[in-house]
Structure formats: structure tokens, C-alpha cells
């Protein structure tokens, strides 16, 4: 479903009891974080929070917007993440029509796809108010300081729009921005980010790099900015696919780049590629630890445009679960069909909450030959952001990797440490403070599958205990006769 603006989404949430409005004055320095942290760790992620009275700013703040399974699904216009995965699977592996009737049925689907690329419009609500020159003041925004040791206030939920200077290809990412003063931020991107790649291309030319930072609009926009898309894929095309309608973009007022017309706020500016980088951070990150100070480029703000009565959307990160967990879980489910294209034996995978995305990855496979688990580990470590998976655990197809207890049971039962644990040197997550060198270290693979004789297990492998189906059915049918109350579920 396409939302014309953020307010439409918030109204739906309020009607369904998924939004709480807070009228008491709150401080954007630490207080909003503590409130949100408690709420986001409550049952099912808690409600979205709308702070109407934020100290030091005329703008309200909305947070925990996508912080539950239900709200994340609503933003995607589905009842479950698997619905999106099925749509993607249908695109990458379509059924070949056998007759002319089946071929005709494909015409509406193809016509719909043709309407999904972004379109440029002449005007947008994001430019109802335009502030240029001396009127530019980032301190008017209710930007949060999230954690006590943060170096300052950080914009955390902005979609960062950049372009390749040669091809003009658009990229949308989500990078934090530490506010330095009224018209300057730090642009925090890592070497593997597409935004940084575009920066390097501008640096070769010795020219300024135009950048737009968009806040608000359709709630699918933050997700589209974080999705791990293949190279040279426009995130706005994914946005159109998810919302079932094109993303309308409007040209910025001071730079040659476009931003969502429906945004609440758009920050326009540039990075001077000849300017020395300066110290940014520390920042309380999604790992649950502070990421350390480092050198990053300055982002010079040339304009701030916004709606007549803008809402400032933001997020906080820290020890899971928080809002970003649900966004990550959506990615896990949605991109399963794509991963299966490259790892066909894969049944399912799970990025457990405690792993903070990159620390743990559970994988189940249909094992048919020796050392197949190691082949899958190497495939995972060769795949985009999955390369940062610090610990990969591989189990057999019948093990439900969404049930972490079952995974660890099979690790304990099936792993011989001297044979089944492997280490692989390579790139690590920049935020992995345990790596002795930033961005470089080791990953661990654990093969918890049933072993073949060729894998160094010559003696027979015992069968796993499972009750016969006829006895299970018998007991279920007679349960009322046992006087044990309601029927208990079958065990695994």
C-alpha cells in the first residue's frame, strides 16, 4: 500500500491503538531514548511514540515507527514478510506460461512493473517552507542525543540520496549524521557503502558532492534505504515495488539531486571532497556498545526545506530488540528467495536477535554430500553484507532455525570441536570491537549437521528420536480421556 505522507500512516496507527501521543514536555537529550528503550523492549515492540512537546524545538518527534512486526508489515502493505518474499520469488523465478490465456494473465503484472520506477514531479509538499543562507539552522530540528557518551546529537533516520557523477545512478542509504553546528554535520559512511563509493568518484574529479537527506514520507522509505540490494539497483525502484506505486521525487532547490516529494523534511548540502576529514563520534550503536571516534567528511548544509507543520522522525539503536531489529527481520525474510538463488541447498536462515544482525547466522540446508556445510559457510561469507557474519551455524534441513533452542541442541549433539569448527580470515564489521584490527579479523563456522564417513566419522550415526505419527495421532485423539486439560502441543 502506498502512503501519500507520514501523517496518513500515523493516523492509521492511532486508529488501531498502535500510536501513543505524549503531551508532557520531554528532553531530546537522553530522555526520549530512555522512554523509547523501555517501550521497544516491551511485548511485541510496544507502540509508536509521538512526542508533541519536545524541549527546544517547535517540531514533534515520532519514534519506534517500525518497531513491531505488525507495524513493519503495515509499512510494507502486507500481513506477513513472506508475502513480499513470495512476490520477489515470482519475479526472479516466474512460471513459464503454457498457453495464450496464461500469457495474457502476465500482461497486467508486466504493466504494473512498468509503473514502478521513480518519477520526477515539479512540486512537493517537502518544499512548502524553504530556508536558505542564514536561515539554515539544524538546531531548530529536535535531533536526539541518544546515549550518555555520544559526542553530540545525531540524525539517525534520514535517507541519504547521492549519485554517481559519471553514470548519474541514484543511491539511497541510511547513514548517521552528527550535528556539528547550525549548518554542518558529519557524514558517517563506511568504505563498503555505496555513498562512500560515490564520494571517491567525486574525489577523483576534485568536485563537491551533492547530497540530500530526506526525513519522513511513506514509511517504507527508511526500509528501502537499508535494503541490501545488488549493485546498480535504484533503491527507489524497490520503494515503488514495495508500495505498488512509483516514488515521486522533486528536484532540490540548491543542489542537482532529487528527494522524495512527500518527505516531512529535506536537508540539502554537499561534501567538499578536497576538505580534510574530522573526528566524529563516539556513538551508541546497534551492537550495544559505543562505536569509537574516527575520521569522517563534513556535510555542509545549503538548505532545509519542510512541510508547513513538519514531523521529525527518528530512531535509536542499542542492545536489541529495538526498532532496527524488525527492519532487519524483514530483510531476512524478504531476501530469502534471492539467497536461495545462489545457495540452492539452503532451506532457511535466521539472524538471531542476540546477534545484532552480524554476530550470528543460523542456516539449515539439504545436505547431500560431504563438506557441504563448509561450502555454504563460504557462500554466506561471500554475499554482500552477509560477509560480516561472525559466527555461522549450519544444521540439517529438519531443524527449525527460527527456534534457537533447537539449533543449540543440535550444536551440542552433533559438533565435534576438533573437526566441525572452522575459522576464516577476512573482512569484519567495522563495528566489531572484538576484532584486533578495525575491519579485519576472523569468522567462525560451526558444522552441526549429520556427518558422513568421508567427513571423518567412520562409525554409524544414530537416528534422532521421534515419536511415530500414528501414536501422536492416537494420543491427540484421546487427550480428553486423560483428564489433562487442553491438548498440549506435540514435542519435537
Residue 100 reports pLDDT greater than 90: no
441 within a domain of the structure (yes/no): yes
Q: Residue 422: which CATH number?
A: 3.40.1670.10
Question: Active-site residues: which are they?
Answer: 285
Predicted confidence band of residue 106 (pLDDT cuts 50, 70, 90): very low
pLDDT of residue 122: 94
288 and 360 belong to one structural domain = no
| Residue 338 covered by a domain | no
Encode pLDDT of 114-147 as tens digits: 668 999 999 999 999 999 999 999 999 999 999 9
Instruction: Look up the CATH number of the domain holding residue 89.
Output: 2.30.110.10
Q: Say whether both 357 and 276 belong to one domain.
A: no
Residue 174 forms part of a structural domain: yes
Is 1 within the bounds of a domain? no
Q: What is the pLDDT of residues 234-284, one digit of tens each?
A: 999 999 999 999 999 999 999 999 999 999 999 999 999 999 999 999 999
Residues 194 and 308 in one domain: yes
The residues pairing with 120 across neighbouring beta strands, listed in sequence order, are: 249
Same domain, 300 and 354: no
User: Based on the domain organization, do 206 and 57 belong to the same domain?
Assistant: yes
In the chain, % of residues over pLDDT 90: 87
- Judge if 34 and 119 occupy the same domain: yes
Note down the domain range covering 350. Answer: 343-455
| Statement to judge: residues 52 and 130 lie in one domain | yes
Q: What is the mean pLDDT of the chain?
A: 93
CB-CB contact of 22 with 52 (8 Å): yes
**252 and 360 together in one domain:** no
Whether 440 is covered by a domain: the verdict is: yes
Number of domains in the chain: 2
Do residues 35 and 147 share a domain? Answer: yes
pTM score over 0.85: yes
Residues 295 and 391 grouped into a single domain? no
- 178 and 34: one domain? yes
Average pLDDT over residues 44-55: 97
Quote the CA–CA distance of 468 and 452 in Å, as a whole number. Answer: 25
Q: Other C-beta atoms within 10 Å of 392: how many?
A: 26
The reply to whether 302 and 367 lie within a common domain is no
Q: Is the pLDDT of residue 318 over 80?
A: yes
**Residue 466 domain flag:** no
What is the predicted pLDDT for the residue at 155? Answer: 98
Residue 65 lies in a domain: yes
Amino acid at each position: 500500500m502506498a502512503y501519500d505522507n507520514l501523517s496518513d500512516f500515523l493516523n492509521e496507527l492511532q486508529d488501531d491503538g498502535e500510536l501513543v501521543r505524549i503531551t508532557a514536555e520531554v528532553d531530546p537529550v537522553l530522555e526520549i531514548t530512555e522512554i523509547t528503550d523501555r517501550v521497544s523492549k516491551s511485548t511485541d515492540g510496544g507502540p509508536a511514540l509521538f512526542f508533541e512537546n519536545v524541549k527546544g524545538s517547535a517540531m514533534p518527534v515520532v519514534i519506534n515507527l517500525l518497531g513491531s512486526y505488525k507495524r513493519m508489515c503495515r509499512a510494507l502493505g502486507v500481513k506477513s514478510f513472506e508475502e513480499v518474499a513470495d512476490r520477489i520469488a515470482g519475479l526472479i523465478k516466474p512460471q513459464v506460461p503454457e498457453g495464450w490465456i496464461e500469457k495474457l494473465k502476465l500482461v497486467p503484472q508486466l504493466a504494473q512493473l512498468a509503473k514502478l520506477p521513480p518519477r520526477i514531479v515539479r512540486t512537493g509538499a517537502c518544499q512548502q517552507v524553504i530556508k536558505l543562507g542564514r536561515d539554515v539552522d539544524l538546531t531548530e530540528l529536535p535531533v536526539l542525543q541518544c546515549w550518555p557518551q555520544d559526542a553530540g546529537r545525531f540524525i539517525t533516520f534520514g535517507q541519504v540520496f547521492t549519485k554517481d557523477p559519471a553514470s548519474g545512478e541514484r543511491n539511497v542509504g541510511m547513514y548517521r549524521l552528527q550535528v556539528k553546528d547550525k549548518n554542518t554535520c558529519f557524514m558517517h559512511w563506511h568504505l563498503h557503502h555505496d555513498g562512500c563509493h560515490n564520494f571517491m568518484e567525486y574525489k577523483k574529479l576534485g568536485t563537491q558532492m551533492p547530497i540530500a537527506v530526506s526525513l519522513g514520507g511513506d514509511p517504507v522509505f527508511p526500509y528501502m534505504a537499508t535494503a541490501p540490494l545488488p549493485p546498480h539497483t535504484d533503491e527507489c525502484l524497490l520503494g515503488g515495488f514495495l508500495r505498488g506505486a512509483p516514488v515521486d521525487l522533486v528536484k532540490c532547490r540548491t543542489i542537482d539531486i532529487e528527494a522524495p516529494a512527500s518527505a516531512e523534511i529535506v536537508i540539502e548540502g554537499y561534501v567538499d571532497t578536497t576538505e580534510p576529514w574530522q573526528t566524529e563520534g563516539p556513538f551508541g550503536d546497534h551492537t550495544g556498545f559505543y562505536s569509537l571516534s574516527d575520521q569522517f567528511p563534513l556535510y555542509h548544509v545549503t538548505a532545509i526545506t519542510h512541510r508547513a507543520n513538519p514531523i521529525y522522525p527518528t530512531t535509536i539503536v542499542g542492545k536489541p530488540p529495538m526498532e532496527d531489529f524488525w527492519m532487519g527481520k524483514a530483510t531476512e525474510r524478504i531476501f530469502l528467495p534471492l539467497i536461495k538463488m545462489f545457495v540452492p541447498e539452503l532451506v532457511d536462515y535466521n539472524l538471531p536477535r542476540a546477534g545484532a544482525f552480524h554476530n550470528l547466522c543460523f542456516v539449515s540446508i539439504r545436505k547431500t554430500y560431504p563438506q557441504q556445510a563448509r561450502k555454504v559457510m563460504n557462500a554466506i561469507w561471500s554475499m554482500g553484507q552477509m560477509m560480516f557474519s561472525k559466527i555461522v551455524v549450519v544444521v540439517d534441513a529438519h531443524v527449525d532455525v527460527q527456534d534457537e533452542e533447537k539449533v543449540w541442541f543440535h550444536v551440542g549433539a552433533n559438533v565435534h570441536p576438533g573437526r566441525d569448527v572452522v575459522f576464516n580470515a577476512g573482512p569484519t564489521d567495522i563495528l566489531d570491537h572484538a576484532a584486533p584490527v578495525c575491519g579485519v579479523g576472523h569468522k567462525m563456522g560451526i558444522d552441526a549437521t549429520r556427518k558422513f564417513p568421508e567427513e571423518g566419522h567412520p562409525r554409524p550415526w544414530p537416528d534422532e528420536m521421534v515419536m511415530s505419527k500414528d501414536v501422536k495421532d492416537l494420543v491427540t485423539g484421546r487427550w480428553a480421556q486423560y483428564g489433562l486439560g487442553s491438548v498440549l502441543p506435540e514435542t519435537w
